[in-house]
Structure 1
Amino acid sequence: MANGNWEVPTLVDAKAKGTLKFDYGVVSFPKLYANQKTWADSHMLAIPANAKGQLSPEKLKAVMTFVGYVQKQGGLTWAGGGHIPAYLPTQSSAAFKALQPNVQYSATSARDATLEPTLPIFGVGGPVYDAVGNNFTPVLLGQISVDQAMSKFKTALQNFNK
C-alpha cells in the first residue's frame, strides 16, 4: 500500500482495536532513478504579506510567540498524526523517538526532505500534483509500466507551457 503519513493514525487505531488484518511497516518513498529526495509538503503557519504596511514590532513578536508555542507544544500532537515535527528538539525527544510506527520512516524522510519549487503549478492544489496522481497511481495499481507513466507525466508537464 502506498499512502501518505496522514494514514498512520488509521493503521495505529486499527491495530489497537484488533481490526487490522495484516502486519505493516512504514518506510519513506523509495528511490526513483537517481533521486532519493522526499518532497516536504505540510500544514504550516504563514504570516501573510500586508499590502498596507508591515506588522508593528509588537504584533510581529506576538505572532512569532504564537508560532513558537504551536511548534514547541503541538509538535508531538502533529507527530501522532503521522507528521514529522519541524521543531528539531521535538524530533530528537525521547517521546518522539518512541512513537511507532513513525520512527520507522521519520529519520530517513526528514533527512531526504526537499521543498517544492515556489511556483504556482506546484503544491497540493496545483496541476503538477494532479499530473503525479493521474500518471503514477496506475503504476502502483499495475495498470501501466513506469516507462509509460514517465512518458505521460512528461507530456503533462510539457502541456503546462501551452
Structure 2
Amino acid sequence: MPASNKDRVYVALYARGGRDPDAFHWAIIVGPKKEGVGGSRGYRYHAIQRPDPSRTGHFIWVYEALEITLFQTNMLLGRILIAKVTNDTQLRTTLAAVPLVQDDPSWNCQVWVKNAIAALEADRKSLGTRVTDWTAIEQIANGYINRKREQRRYDGSGGWASGTVPTFDLLENRESVS
C-alpha cells in the first residue's frame, strides 16, 4: 500500500522574548509530508498580539494565517506532529473560526492552539490520523523543547543538520528530526 502524502499538522513552539525561558509562542503549522531541500512551503496559523489602533498602549489578539517556509529559523524551536490533514478547506475554515478572547490576561496563544485543536477534533472533517489530547500534546511539546535545550540544540554547538527543525512525531511516538 502506498504511503500517505497528506499534509501534516504540527504544534510549533517559538522562542519568545522576556524573562521566562519557558514561555513560548505557540502556533499550528500545516505542511507537506515530504519537505524539499531548501525548505518547503506551508502555513502558520496562530493568535498574535498587535497594537490596538483605537487605544494607544493597548494590544488586541488577532488571528493570522500566513504562508511560510518550513526550514529552521532562529525563533522556531521545534514542532510536534499531531495529525494528517484530510480536508484542507475545512481545516482553514475551522481555524479561522476559533474565537479570540480580548482583555483577559489568562488568555494567550497557547490557549488559542488548545482551542484550535479541540475545534479541529470537533469538526470531524479536517483531520485523519491524529492525536488531539491536549494534556499529552502540551507535555510532549514542553518536554521535547527542554530536552533540545539540554542537548544544546539552540546555542550553535554540536553537529545539528543545518536548516532542520527538531520534530517529534506524536503519531508514531518518536523523534523524526533531531
TM-score (norm 2): 0.27
Q: Higher Cα Rg: structure 1 or 2? A: 1
1 or 2, which has the higher strand percentage? Answer: 2
- Report the TM-score when normalising by structure 1: 0.28
| Higher-RCO chain (CA-CA 8 Å, sequence separation at least 6) | 1
Higher helix share: 1
